[in-house]
């Protein structure tokens, strides 16, 4: 096949979340949709992800990756940042406001996402441990601490720093993982913030595109 003229991202051939939009290609799709950049997807299986051809793109054998011409990127944060830098719409023109929006991207990935991932790891991998019931509330309280701080900062604002930016895109993407846990419900302004993100037409288009992959596949009986 000739190389694509459009950016190409890799996504799960069969996402374990069954189309709930929780895999990290979702934030990249959303960024493309916000800036109006068409893109293509290449589906990869779990086994193909660990093959040398995919590892040449992604050293850790994961999705998403991004390819455009001679450029290959991995890490959803770096990919969203790249898209936001190359197109108008996700980062403010004012240098200070731009730096603050980028700061929120880092805050989402480095400060808010880690305790949320910790909760998921605990729930999935540690459920059978004797100390699971003691550990779970500790992990949840660590998340609550961060959510309370974020909630205080957001206050009554629609977005974290003025107009919607890549910082909000990343923060909403990270918080969405909490939807199933009900932790988000404890912070009504954060709950509404996430709902505002999900209501954006660009988010809806991205969500529908990833869901279409799941619904177009024959049922595996899972
Ligand atoms: N830091 C990297 C980034 O931000 O891009 C992390 C990339 C990553 O964890 N990718 C995951 C992956 O490829 C998919 S998103 N995993 C396969 C592997 O490591 O072998 C993580 C994910 C997986 C499943 C669900 N789910 O089922 O809900 C949600 C999110």
Beta bridge mates, 8: 40, 67
CA angle 167, 170, 173 (to 5 degrees): 145
CATH superfamily of 8-89+203-216: Glutaredoxin (3.40.30.10)
Q: What is the mean pLDDT of residues 87-104?
A: 98
Fold equal for 8-89+203-216 and 95-200? no
9 lines ligand 1 (CB under 6 A): no
Q: How far is CA 129 from CA 121, 122, 132, 137, 145, in A?
A: 12, 10, 5, 14, 25
Where along the chain do its domains lie? 8-89+203-216, 95-200
140 lines ligand 1 (CB under 6 A): no
Using alpha carbons, select from 167, 148, 28, 24 the residue that is nearest to residue 106: 167
Residues 24-52 pLDDT 10s: 999 999 999 999 999 999 999 999 999 99
Q: What is the mean pLDDT of residues 80-102?
A: 98
Tell me if residue 150 falls in helix, strand or coil.
helix
Instruction: Indicate if the pLDDT at residue 181 is higher than 90.
Output: no
Tell me how long the chain is.
222
Q: What is the mean pLDDT of residues 18-28?
A: 95
pLDDT of residue 221: 47
Instruction: Indicate if the pLDDT at residue 222 is higher than 70.
Output: no
161 lines ligand 1 (CB under 6 A): no
Instruction: Provide the pLDDT confidence category of residue 9 given band limits of 50, 70 and 90.
Output: very high
Q: What is the mean pLDDT of residues 59-84?
A: 98
What is the dotted CATH code of the domain comprising 95-200?
Answer: 1.20.1050.10
């Amino acid at each position: 096949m000739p190389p694509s003229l459009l950016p190409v991202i890799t996504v799960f051939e069969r996402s374990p979340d069954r189309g709930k939009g929780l895999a990290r290609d979702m934030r990249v799709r959303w960024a493309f949709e916000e800036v109006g950049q068409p893109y293509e997807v290449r589906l990869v299986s779990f086994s193909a992800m660990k093959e040398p051809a995919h590892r040449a793109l992604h050293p850790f054998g994961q999705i998403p990756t991004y390819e455009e011409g001679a450029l290959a990127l991995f890490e959803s944060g770096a990919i969203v940042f790249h898209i936001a830098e190359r197109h108008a719409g996700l980062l403010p023109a004012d240098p200070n406001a731009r730096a603050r929006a980028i700061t929120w991207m880092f805050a989402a990935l480095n400060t808010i996402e880690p305790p949320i991932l910790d909760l998921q790891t605990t729930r999935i991998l540690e459920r059978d441990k004797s100390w699971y019931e003691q550990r779970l509330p500790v992990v949840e309280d660590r998340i609550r601490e961060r959510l309370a701080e974020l909630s205080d900062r957001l206050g009554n604002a629609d977005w974290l720093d003025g107009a919607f930016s890549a910082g909000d895109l990343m923060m909403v993407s990270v918080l969405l993982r909490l939807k199933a846990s009900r932790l988000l419900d404890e912070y009504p302004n954060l709950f509404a913030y996430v709902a505002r993100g999900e209501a954006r037409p660009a988010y809806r288009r991205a969500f529908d595109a990833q869901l279409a992959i799941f619904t177009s596949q024959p049922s595996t009986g899972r």
